[in-house]
Amino acid sequence: MKPAAFDYLRAETLDEALEAMSEFGDDAKVIAGGQSLMPMLNIRLVKPAILVDISRVVVLDYTKTNHKRFEIGGIVTQGHLAKSGALQGIVPLLAKALPHIGHFQTRNRGTVCGSLCHSDPSSEIPLCLATLGGTVVLKSKRRERTVDAQDFQIDMLTTDCRPDEIAVAASFPTSDDNTGYAFSELARRHGDFAIVALAAVATGDTIRLGVGGVAATPTVREWSGLSPADLEDALNEFAWDLGGSDDIHATARYRREIVRRMGAKVIQEASDARAQ
């Protein structure tokens, strides 16, 4: 398994990378950490004419907090964030999800924005972005635009990122007072692709639950003022709406059952965290 031949550009500046994307468009693939793209190149699922490497574009290596948003630059690795103790107080849901992403060796290289652009249905970072209502900043030579998570992830492995655009940042709402966050997932081996991943946010009597790994994209639902019995019905209805499909790891029916059972647990955990 070796990649098909491609040209390679290691961009030193963002302008150089954007210029290349404007010139090559659909024929080009952006590589930052490459932890999703490199396997696809090796298996030859993807055969770009040119690879545009942005991993040394240092202006994209930043994080900042601004107006209740935590912005993560395009080449910030998952491992860098996971090692920063401060994240737990800024975006607790993301801090809880990071250890579930692959293994520490892949987190050392894999980026937050790369994970969003790859848009695997069971991926943790897209699930967190969707559940918290974050945004992705897309830049091309012509313009820059900010896209909501739900509009960014269109389908399985498909995003709104246009051929000449690069995801230069992702922005997560920072944690609110009196709000509880919880994250949980089921996988065969720690770090494997999640069979089902769940993220919950509890504020007042409002519960928001995001589910990954069942539908083609992370799916979020919000309820207010539910009694425990209502919650059970609501989870059941949500599970059926998600649908899901059978694969080698689990049947759709099993996935729906996990949504019902682990959904209730993760909501409870978020509610308990809110109370503290």
Partner 1 sequence: MPVLSKDKRHAVQFTLNGEAVDGFVEPRLLLADFLRHHLGATGTHVGCEHGICGACTVRIDGKAQRACLTLAVQVDGRSVDTVEGMAAPDGALSPLQQAFHENFALQCGFCTPGILMSMEEFLETNPDPSDAEVREALSGNICRCTGYAEIVAAVLQTAKQLREAPTQGSE
User: Of 18, 21, 30, 51, which one interacts with partner 1 (CB under 8 A)?
Assistant: 51
The Cα–Cα gap between 130 and 125 comes to: 9
User: What is the per-residue binding string for partner 1 in 169-198, x denoting contact by CB under 8 A?
Assistant: --------------------xxx-------
The answer to whether the beta carbons of residues 147 and 138 sit under 8 Å apart is yes
Please give the size of the binding site for partner 1, defined by CB under 8 A.
37
Q: How far is the CB of 24 from partner 1 (least distance, A)?
A: 9
Beta strand pairing call for 69-73 and 166-173: antiparallel
CB atoms within 10 A of CB 64: 11
Name the strands in the sheet holding 219-224, side by side, starting at the edge strand that comes first in the sequence.
Answer: 179-186, 196-203, 206-212, 219-224
For position 122 contacting partner 1 by CB under 8 A, the verdict is: no
For position 240 contacting partner 1 by CB under 8 A, the verdict is: no
Residue 73 or 102: the one with the smaller Cβ distance to partner 1 is 102
For position 44 contacting partner 1 by CB under 8 A, the verdict is: no
Question: Residue 1, class by beta-carbon neighbours within 10 Å (0-12 exposed, 13-18 middle, 19+ buried)?
Answer: exposed
The answer to whether the beta carbons of residues 174 and 91 sit under 8 Å apart is yes
For position 100 contacting partner 1 by CB under 8 A, the verdict is: no
The Cα–Cα gap between 238 and 273 comes to: 23
Residue 32 or 207: the one with the smaller Cβ distance to partner 1 is 32
User: Of 63, 84, 108, 268, which one interacts with partner 1 (CB under 8 A)?
Assistant: 108
Residue 99 or 133: the one with the smaller Cβ distance to partner 1 is 99
The Cα–Cα gap between 248 and 250 comes to: 6
User: What is the per-residue binding string for partner 1 in 8-37, x denoting contact by CB under 8 A?
Assistant: xxxxx---x---x-------------xx--
For position 114 contacting partner 1 by CB under 8 A, the verdict is: no
Report the interface residues with partner 1, using CB under 8 A. Answer: 1-12, 16, 20, 34-35, 38-39, 41-43, 50-51, 53, 55, 79, 83, 102-106, 108-109, 189-191
